[in-house]
């Protein structure tokens, strides 16, 4: 088995985006500034490796503010964003809080508020129960925003024909699937208002484009990331649709399918926006133990986006 030659096409860009880097830095700087523990409401980003690493440094993860016994300790809101009610609750508890919401998610929140003020009824394209969707819908009064998850729901969607209508989207969706949903809505509601600039974020778009670029050349494709990471799960779908049927998510409990890899000549690797590069390196190192590996990084675009952490942490 040792010397089977395998080519790895390494998708670039991959891995951490600017919003994830900023969120992790916010937790680390909060621990430096306030000491430990600091609390984090919801996983800061959807990756077990990152979460475990921050736990070791002094972060405690909770789902709700009520779980925090010592309200004198600071709390950080995750990169996915939170409903309006959460910062209000924190203020009522007199808690110090730091908001690590990705600036591109905050942009969608502001967009939703502005549309609502301008009298629009809003359709949010996204996945039910994803924290980002809960956060975005939680910016507005109940009933002023509806969720559409797929083409079938877009077909069935009904609203008051006299209503001014606008749509916004979750930032981590499949670019191609979302286009189809938008097309259905535009055909039905010719006056529907669209975002001035697409809501799907640059990192999601770039990572999907990079996977599309190489998937058809691969016998197998691995996306390294967590099961609850929307952008990672989308990358697997994109790889399949782009011509590599044997595409799979490689998460913290996955085992490397060496026997399947043995039957492959070329495998593709990418990683979700919340997956650290060390996981990609570890994966390749495991393959090197069994096979003769030739790695080629295929980069389609350089990313140089950086988001600053809040001033109070500097």
Which residue, 91, 98, 102, 97, is CA-closest to 131? 102
CA 105 vs CA 40, 83, 135, 240, 262: distances in Å: 18, 12, 9, 27, 41
- Which residues, 6+ apart, have CB-to-CB distance to 233 below 8 Å? 225, 227, 249
Quick check: 50 and 279 in contact, CB under 8 A? no
Q: How far apart are CA 111 and CA 210, in angstroms?
A: 28
Query: In the annotation, is 180 catalytic?
Result: no
Using only C-alpha atoms, the chain has a radius of gyration, in whole angstroms, of 21
Angle of helix 18-34 relative to helix 103-117, nearest 10 degrees, comes to: 100
Tokens describing residue 45: 């980003």
Quick one: residue 143, left, alpha or beta (phi over 0 = left, psi -120 to 50 = alpha)? left
Catalytic residue among 132, 153, 194, 303: 132
Phi, psi of 229 (to 5 degrees): -90, 110
Q: How far apart are CA 130 and CA 124, in angstroms?
A: 12
Tokens describing residue 258: 């060496």
Which residue, 212, 234, 278, is CA-closest to 15? 278
Q: Which residues are catalytic?
A: 132
């Amino acid at each position: 088995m040792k010397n089977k030659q395998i080519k790895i096409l390494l998708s670039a860009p991959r891995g951490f985006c600017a919003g994830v880097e900023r969120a992790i830095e916010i937790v680390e700087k909060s621990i430096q500034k306030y000491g430990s523990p600091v609390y984090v409401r919801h996983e800061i980003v959807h990756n077990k490796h990152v979460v475990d690493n921050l736990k070791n440094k002094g972060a405690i993860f909770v789902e709700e503010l009520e779980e925090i016994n010592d309200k004198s300790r600071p709390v950080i809101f995750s990169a996915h964003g939170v409903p309006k009610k959460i910062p209000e609750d924190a203020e009522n508890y007199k808690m110090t809080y730091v908001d690590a919401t990705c600036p591109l998610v905050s942009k969608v929140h502001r967009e939703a508020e502005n549309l609502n003020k301008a009298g629009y009824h809003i359709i949010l394209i996204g996945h039910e129960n994803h924290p980002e969707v809960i956060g975005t819908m939680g910016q507005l009064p109940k009933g002023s925003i509806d969720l559409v998850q797929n083409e079938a729901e877009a077909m069935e969607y009904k609203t008051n024909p006299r209503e001014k209508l606008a749509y916004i989207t979750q930032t981590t969706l499949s670019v191609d699937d979302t286009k189809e949903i938008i097309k259905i809505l535009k055909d039905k509601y010719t006056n529907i208002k669209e975002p001035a600039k697409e809501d799907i974020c640059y990192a999601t778009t770039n990572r999907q484009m990079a996977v599309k670029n190489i998937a058809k050349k691969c016998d197998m494709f691995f996306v390294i990331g967590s099961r609850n990471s929307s952008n990672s799960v989308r990358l697997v779908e994109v790889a399949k649709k782009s011509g590599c049927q044997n595409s799979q998510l490689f998460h913290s409990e996955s085992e490397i399918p060496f026997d399947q890899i043995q039957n492959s000549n070329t495998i593709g690797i990418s990683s979700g926006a919340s997956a650290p590069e060390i996981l990609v390196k570890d994966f390749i190192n495991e393959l090197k133990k069994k096979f003769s590996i030739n790695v080629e990084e295929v980069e389609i675009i350089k990313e140089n986006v950086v988001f600053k952490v809040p001033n109070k942490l500097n």
